[in-house]
Copies of this chain bind each other. A is one copy, B any other.
Amino acid sequence: MTRSRLLDEIKQTRPFRSKAAEAGIALLRTANIVHREADAIAATEGISLAQYNVLRILRGARGPLPTMEIAERLIEQTPGITRLVTNLEQQGLVKREQWAGDRRQILCQITPAGLKLLERLDGAMDEYDDRALGNLNESELETLIDLLDRIRNGPPPS
């Protein structure tokens, strides 16, 4: 039984209480690093990773989305989104407007400037993904995706 690399990283001598505990820490720790690095990529264009994600949602939607919809797709609480979109609007990357249908909703839409910024970022982000996960081959990536899916959603539907 070789010693866990994670234990070395955090300089602990006690073993983990369970494989699940170790996996949980490994998950949060790994995501932490990837998040930070991806954030640095987004920063080269003056936005945060959170803002980048909002822009990608809006681009993918191919049309205006109410604030709540963005929140759901990002798994985030609405208050945060409001401010995120406000910032993006001030940078001219997103446009907000009331809609006649349901006047409680505010529709958000990516602007041409926002689309352009995304295009400038796409290459670097793709490259980063390939580099960050470059130690895993295609089949390992599929395994990883499957395991993560099951953590979020439980076992696949039969």
Residues of chain A touching chain B, judged by Cβ–Cβ distance below 8 Å, are 4-6, 9-14, 17-24, 26-35, 38, 57, 60, 73, 75, 125-126, 129-130, 132-136, 138, 140-145, 147-156
Contact = CB atoms under 8 A, between A and B. Distances in A.
B136 A140 contact: no
A62 B33 CA distance: 27
Given A24-B34, A30-B27, A148-B26, A143 B143 contact: yes
A33 B152 contact: yes
Nearest to A7: B60
Contacts of A125: 21
Given A73-B10, A143-B143, A133 B23 contact: yes
B129 A151 contact: no
A32 B4 CA distance: 24
A73 to B, nearest CB: 5
